[in-house]
Amino acid sequence: MKTAIVGGGAAGFFLGINLKEMRPDMEVSILESGSRVLRKVLASGGGRCNCTNTFRDVKDLRNVYPRGHQLMKRLMRTFGPREAYEWFELHGIPLRLQQDGRVFPASNDAATIVSRFLKLARELGIQVVNGSPVSSLSQLSSYDFVAVTTGGSPRAEGLRWLQEVGHEVVAPVPSLFTLSIDDEALCALTGTAVEQVSVLIPGTKFHAEGALLITHWGLSGPVILRLSSYAARHLNEQDYRSHLCINWANATEADAHRELVLLTGSHAKKQVTNVQPCALPSRLWQYLAQKALGERAALRWCDLGRKDMNRLTNIVTADVLQVTGRSAFKEEFVTCGGIALSSIDQNTLCSKAVSRLYFAGEVLDIDGITGGYNFQAAWTTAHTAARSIATCQ
């Protein structure tokens, strides 16, 4: 029996190694279009590869998998983060667990995973063929099983050959990006970080909380990446032009107002821009006060009137910025969309349209936020597909 795995990335190798271990008599070939396999793994996590997460703080999988959470929930019962962790350690890749729940190779080097995967593939007799792009199922007619692990495809054309044989494709759009903001004064604060803000896109359900970083082009940091993932399709439909509302203090309007009022008493004679509320960074506060009050920001706290206080409260808790575009995040970038989950059997990941054809990894309409969730999706789906092929008669 012969299996062709199309795509030599994270899911492709994980699937191949697991399949060979489950069914040693299976001939397994990995067909990779590029000149090198496992390129994304090598570049991942800033070269460290954030290969999974404990999921300890995840109350609802929907918060980490905006697409595919139900399927992930089902498949992770059999092969979840704990099983992945054990698998890596058992296969000679010791891991290190960070306090924030992210997991990396103990070497802190993605190359450890790449070289180990390559060695395992060699030892198990998996054939790896570089420079072998697949664009039609007819190229694979000599194989008994085919597993498609071609990863995220930002262009729909990459999925056409799979669409033509009866699979529904959810239009691919980018996820995990930073936002360009049309505001010179804000961008001049580049490097300023705020530990806990909340952001939302007005008029939608999309919101996120977390740390924010101001960059020379706009906004970045975990909270923005998270929002970009939740609102990936919406922002694409808006051509990445939207309003963004920021609660800089992540506080209620009443709490922020109370704190501002306290300052009018405790720092009455000081200039407004010189005393920042809610532990905001001082440069950010100067920008916000200026934006809310204009020249009146030069007044003392005791000189402010009720309207001034309302303006300040409003800018601290509901500042509105204009998003003018997206920019790719250097660290991580994934595709939202891909092969529709309705086109596959949710237990085996076998195609409903073509028998003995399986899918795993980012080619599926599953994607996560940053933190190791995307690799976990690759391990979970690849393990499922390997088991399905191994047990198929």
H runs (alpha helix) in 238-340: 253-266, 282-293, 306-317
Residue from 331, 340, 353, 356 binding ligand FAD (CB under 6 A): 331
Minimum CB distance to ligand FAD, residue 12 (Å): 5
Interaction between residue 7 and ligand FAD (CB under 6 A) = yes
The whole-angstrom separation of Cα 266 and Cα 319 is 25
Instruction: Select from 227, 341, 378, 389 the one that contacts ligand FAD (CB under 6 A).
Output: 378
Binding to ligand FAD (CB under 6 A) within 140-169 occurs at: 149-151
Q: Rounded CA gap, 94 and 86, in Å?
A: 9
Q: Which of 125, 133, 154, 191 binds ligand FAD (CB under 6 A)?
A: 133
Q: Based on the shown chain and the rule CB under 6 A, indicate whether residue 334 belongs to the binding site for ligand FAD.
A: yes
Question: How many residues touch ligand FAD (CB under 6 A)?
Answer: 37
Residue 333 in contact with ligand FAD, rule: CB under 6 A:
yes
Facing residues of 220 across strands?
A: 213
- How crowded is residue 151: how many other Cβ atoms within 10 Å of its Cβ? 21
Smaller CB separation from ligand FAD, 126 or 186: 126
Task: Examine residue 34 and tell whether it contacts ligand FAD (CB under 6 A).
Answer: yes
**Whether the Cβ atoms of residue 377 and residue 72 lie closer than 8 Å to each other:** yes
Positions in 48-77 near ligand FAD (CB under 6 A): 49-50
| Among the listed residues 40, 167, 311, 326, the single contact to ligand FAD using CB under 6 A | 40
Determine contact, residues 222/197, Cβ cutoff 8 Å.
no
Q: Examine residue 365 and tell whether it contacts ligand FAD (CB under 6 A).
A: no
Choose among 373, 388, 341, 386: nearest CA to 13: 386
Q: Which of 2, 22, 42, 43 binds ligand FAD (CB under 6 A)?
A: 43
Single-letter amino acid code for the residue at 140: L
Least gap, CB of 106 to ligand FAD (angstroms): 15
- 103 counts as binding ligand FAD under rule CB under 6 A: no
Cβ–Cβ < 8 Å for 375, 10: yes
Structure tokens at 244: 């963004």
- Our finding on whether 11 is near ligand FAD (CB under 6 A) is yes
- Three-state SS sequence of 37-106: CCHHHHHHHHHCCCCEECCCCCCCHHHCCCECHHHHHHHHCCCCHHHHHHHHHHCCCCEEECCCCEEEEC
CB-wise, 6 or 181, nearer to ligand FAD? Answer: 6
Distance of CA 38 to the CA centre of its chain: 18
* Closest residue to bound ligand FAD by CB: 9
Decide: is 31 part of the binding site for ligand FAD (CB under 6 A): yes
Decide whether 71 or 260 has the Cβ nearer to ligand FAD: 71
Q: How far is the CB of 329 from ligand FAD (least distance, A)?
A: 8
6 binds ligand FAD (CB under 6 A): yes
Q: How far is CA 32 from the centre of its chain?
A: 24
* Rounded least distance, CB 47 to ligand FAD, Å: 9
How far, CA to CA in Å, does 196 sit from each of 144, 164, 211, 223, 224?
53, 47, 5, 9, 12
Q: What is the rounded CA–CA span in Å between residue 29 and residue 146?
A: 10
Footprint on this chain of ligand FAD (rule: CB under 6 A): 6-12, 31-34, 37, 39-40, 43-45, 49-50, 133-135, 149-151, 331-334, 361-363, 372-375, 378
